[in-house]
Structure 1
Amino acid sequence: MPRWSKHGRRRGEVAVLQCCPNGARPVGVTPALPTTPDDLARDAAAVAALGVRSFHVHPRDEDGRESLDPQVVAATVGAIRQAAPSLEVGVPLARWVEPNAFRRTGLVQEWAGLPSHRRPDVLAVSVHERGWETVCEAVASVGLGIELGVWTTGDAVQLRLAGVPVNTVRIAVEVTVTDPDTAVAEAVRLLRALQPLPVPVPVLLHGEEDGAWPVLEYARREGFDTRMGFEDTLYGPDGIWTATGNEELIRFALGQPVGPRTGPRRSPRRGLFGGGLRFGRSRAAHRG
């Protein structure tokens, strides 16, 4: 029988670093936000070269709006696959794009009918969304992977009681507390509420906005899978300078050097050390 770590991976498996390049960010929030298939393919190739293994992308139509249309998804995934064939490509079955759970299950069938090089490997489903179990059943029925989003302790308890759906490749624990001084404490609460799971599943832990870097640091120190990209934050770990792109954010996440900071910056905020988060030195990272 395989031996499993406390994080749901087989012993000896290396933690995954996922890139989330755009999310639901509005077009123009930063010039470097990738929205077109070509932009996303460029970023996918860049981060794959750095060792990223998973790419969680929100496809956009020609007007830059999020879309679940099969042809939009096919164009986006196909471009990414051509640029970075080794990447796992994940797409969210977003309720805010299609509120009807039954329609989302229909989309699963349509996506499954796409050519293999143009369909996603993993579909993201959030536990707090009505109908999530039905959607997961539809995903599993066509042989695609599931990334379960857990945002609250209530979500964690619900998942434990319901059981982990078939074809779940990971559970994404999403810390929505953005205060850098308390985000890690919230992460610990979520992780505790999630245990014990009836079956071992890898856990990907990540934060957002000013909580993104403390949570990433905690996740990497504790051996969890994690992620970084413009979906989670627009800023480097100092909290001041706008990142020049997803490649730069991934380099920061890996502890690699980056070029001089010359992009747009925001005013220092109270509560951040020296006006910004100092990667590796945040107080929140030493809690839990």
Structure 2
Amino acid sequence: MQSQSSDRPVAIAVAPNGGRRSKADHPGLPMTPAELARTAAECLEAGAAMIHLHVRDRDGRHILDSDVYRAATAAIRQTVGNAMVVQITSEALGVYQPGRQMEAVRETRPEAVSLALRELVPDRDAEPVFASFLDWLKRERVLPQIILYDPGEALYLCDLQRRGMIPWDDVPVLFVLGRYTTSQQSAPTDLLPFLSPGIPAFSSFMVCAFGRDEAACVSAGALLGGDVRVGFENNLLLPDGSTAPTNASLVDTVARMLRGFGRPIQTPASLRHAWGMGHR
């Protein structure tokens, strides 16, 4: 686990759209490159160091496509320059198989990518291909963040590392709280199993959560040594139950809470340094 001292900077990532929601869920949900770029600028100003990208096809459906990813990334870079870490998703959403997920990342060659362990390594037969893919990421200086939905996956990731299949001494991870509960309403206590005795400690972990207690959940993660991710992908509500007007309002809410706890907010440059990312 990272240092729990009160002066440890906390990185805020924004996940502004996801692959499931549409403007019918929230009219401010960004879907086009221009909308994503505007959201990136607003969230950067509010305190976000990283944007987690999903992109859509012309019909608004989730897609893993290098051309669309490059268009969205270019729009963001034109708007905010290199002032934000741009992370793409490789999420399947029930549409893609592991081979295509990894191929899309290779074609895009992003700065950073999130990888769901349970999707890309559904069984032990998939381990060699996954290990080869991680080797490619390291050679190309693409930083992965491994998504973990339960503590058992943390144990499995540690086992893969012990067997030499993870080419980083300490890869960043994302703890997802409450994804597979009936209501998908997360609670701060959902974090405790990830930090319990016997579960591997990761020096760089981030927390995301579902529902109106998103801010409380991720703030708990920050106070326990982690970083945070918020946004319309998982939550549309402010802590008082009202609808958040923008993704930036969710970022600002958490940034204010963290500053109130005495936690400084990490800049994109310091996040790149903390994650060992040489800027490309």
TM-score with structure 2 length normalisation?
0.77
Corresponding position: 1:232 with 2:228: no
Corresponding position: 1:78 with 2:80: no
Correspondence 1:203-218 to 2 at 5 A: 203-218=205-220
Corresponding position: 1:41 with 2:37: yes
Structure with greater helix percent? 2
Change in 2 beyond 3 A, CA 1:8/1:67: farther
Shift of 1:233: 0.5
> How far apart, in 1, do the equivalents of 2:88 and 2:199 lie?
26
Which is further off, 244-253 or 170-179?
Answer: 170-179
8 Å contact kept, 2:4–2:224: no
The answer for unaligned runs of 5 or more in structure 1 is 1-5, 113-119, 257-279, 281-288
**What is the root-mean-square deviation in Å for CA atoms of aligned residues?**
2.9
Aligned residues: 243
8 Å contact kept, 2:184–2:210: no
Which is further off, 220-229 or 82-91?
Answer: 220-229
Aligned to 1:46, the other structure's residue is in SS state helix
> How far apart, in 2, do the equivalents of 1:194 and 1:246 lie?
36
> How far apart, in 2, do the equivalents of 1:124 and 1:44 lie?
18
Shift of 1:13: 5.2
Change in 2 beyond 3 A, CA 1:8/1:160: farther
Q: Percent identity?
A: 24
Correspondence 1:99-110 to 2 at 5 A: 99-110=96-107
Change in 2 beyond 3 A, CA 1:35/1:189: same
Tell me which residue corresponds to 2:54.
58
Shift of 1:50: 2.2
Corresponding position: 1:91 with 2:93: no
Tell me which residue corresponds to 2:14.
19
Tell me which residue corresponds to 1:283.
none
Shift of 1:222: 2.6
Corresponding position: 1:157 with 2:159: no
Shift of 1:182: 6.9
- Tell me: higher relative CO, structure 1 or 2? Use CA pairs within 8 A at least 6 residues apart: 2
Aligned to 1:209, the other structure's residue is in SS state coil
Q: Which amino acid aligns with 2:146?
A: L
> How far apart, in 1, do the equivalents of 2:148 and 2:38 lie?
30
Which of 187, 191, 211 lines up with 2:191 in the alignment?
Answer: 187
Deviations 1:237-256 (A, max 9, x none): 112x1111111111111227
Higher-Rg member (1/2) = 1
Change in 2 beyond 3 A, CA 1:26/1:180: closer
